[in-house]
Structure formats: C-alpha cells, structure tokens
Amino acid sequence: MLKKSFAFTTLCALLSGCGASKPKKLDLSSDKAKVSYTIGQQIGRQLKGSGFEVDPDALAASISDVLNGKEPQMKPEEMQAAMMKAQADQTTKSESEGKANREKGSQFLVANKAKTGMKATASGLQYEIINEGKGKTPKTTDTVKVHYKGTLLDGTQFDSSYDRNEPAEFPLNGVIRGWTEGLQLMKVGGKNRLFVPSDLAYGPQGRPGIPSNSVLIFEVELLDIVKPAR
C-alpha cells in the first residue's frame, strides 16, 4: 500500500496545476506518465472508497499549499471540527443504511429460503447446488482453490476471480464464516450458489464496495484442495 505522503504528493502532481479548473490533456506515452497515472488510479479508488465526499479543487489547493510552504487557509481547530463533523455524518449515514440493509436482507432471505431446491443450515446460510461435484470435501484446516463471483442483492458485482482470469487460493479458516461453512458443503468439481447473511459475512462494518449489513451472493466453483507445501 502506498504511504500517505507519497500518495498525496503524487495526487497533486496528477491534478492539473494543483487546483486548475480545466484539466489538461494527458500525454501517457512515457513510462513515468504511465506509472503516475496508475498510482493516481489507486489513490482515486482509495479516496472514493473512504466514504467522504471530497472536493477535488479544495483537496488539490490544500496539497499545493503544503508543498509550496504556504500557510493553511483554515485554522487547525477549524480543520479538526470539519473532520469530526464529517466522521459523525458518515457514522449516522452508515447506521441508517445498515439498518435498511439488514431489513432488506432479512426479507430477501425469508423469500429465498422458500424457493425450490434451496437449502439452509442452522447458521442461516442458504445455498443451492448448481453442480454436485464428485471429489473430496474440504475441511476447515484445508486450503482450497476456487473460481468465484460475488454480488450484492441488487446485482452489483464487488469481486470476481473470473474477471482476473485466475483462480483464488485461501485457507478455509481465514475467510468469512459463510465461506468457511459453505465450502465444506461442497465437493471438488462442484459449483454452488451461496447466500450469505450479513452476520456470516462482514456485518455492520462492511468493506469497500460492500455496504454495512449486506447479504452477499456468491457463485463458487471448488476446483481443488491444495496440498500443503513440504
């Protein structure tokens, strides 16, 4: 992960004139420009996923003031108060969204459980078998190799090993509880669709791209149980 000082300095360089109103057309022919643009994309995604509403012009001007040795245009107590208010507003918004997501998720799971072919466990995990599979079933201590796609209830995709064109490997005791339980219901060669309640996923904390208290839907192919390296 990029260090903050380097990240913000680079962001300032990428923004046209550190506060100019009209961005200039980029020349991305050099290696330096390509690397800079790539870093900018990473920083932009981090800022977008932070939950704060950011004014790019004010952000660029503030960075420019620091780099040019100028005095801040806000007093320290004003900046502290602004951040405290933004954090409080974000908490209120997150709690409201989390409550709505929990209610929506509960209603969905009740209706989904009644569908033909749907199975449910005591924990609340729901799943349907797409392809049974004929291989071994993994244990909690195993490392598995899988292809998967994860979506929210509205169909928004937040992750996919298919898009990366590369299967994922991970220990079953190192992932969300819904995966730990769900993969142990499968056999190698099988494909299931998992409906994971928020309590078995990321709960009220959520994750970037995954709102608080979200029910998650995964299509998972269990490709193999990976043998530990000797």
Catalytic residues: 148, 158-159, 176, 202, 218
Q: Is 96 left (phi over 0), alpha (psi -120 to 50) or beta?
A: alpha
Strand partners, 31: none
User: In sequence order, which residues have a C-beta less than 8 Å from that of residue 176 and are 6 or more positions away?
Assistant: 196, 200, 201, 202
CA 74 to chain centroid? 33
Provide the H-helix boundaries in the chain.
4-14, 31-49, 56-67, 76-113, 161-164, 177-183
Query: DSSP class of residue 22?
Result: S
User: In sequence order, which residues have a C-beta less than 8 Å from that of residue 30 and are 6 or more positions away?
Assistant: none
